[in-house]
Amino acid sequence: GEKVEQHESTLSVREGDSAVINCTYTDTASSYFPWYKQEAGKGLHFVIDIRSNVDRKQSQRLIVLLDKKAKRFSLHITATQPEDSAIYFCAAGFNNNRIFFGDGTQLVVKP
């Protein structure tokens, strides 16, 4: 089955800098790549996704890049703010309703 790996288990940046979280996947059939954010003691919350028919998507300060040849995708958070501090999960899925999650990246934004 699909395996999603998140390369950074923790990431620390200064407020205002950019943060980049990288993920890789194994199954070329995967076509849907969402990102979720989890704040302390809370459930996961959808933040942005990208589908395999595009290689870049932006929503305000969030940019997702997809490289299908390398089976790699990444989340870029620009102009980070303290409220961006959380655990971020990447995921990959396709049409059978299965969505496979990475192990999460703890992002700390220092003032």
Partner 1 sequence: DMKVTQMPRYLIKRMGENVLLECGQDMSHETMYWYRQDPGLGLQLIYISYDVDSNSEGDIPKGYRVSRKKREHFSLILDSAKTNQTSVYFCASRDSGNTLYFGEGSRLIVV
* Per-residue contact flags (x/-) with partner 1 for residues 1 to 40, judged by CB under 8 A: -------------------------------x-x-x----
Considering only 50, 65, 93, 107, the residue that binds partner 1 (CB under 8 A) is 93
Tokens of 47: 């933040």
Give the E-state strand segments of the chain in sequence order. 4-6, 10-14, 19-25, 32-38, 44-51, 56-59, 62-67, 72-77, 86-93, 99-101, 105-110
Check binding of 43 to partner 1 (CB under 8 A). yes
Note the residues at the interface with partner 1 (CB under 8 A): 32, 34, 36, 41-46, 49, 89, 93, 97-99, 101-104
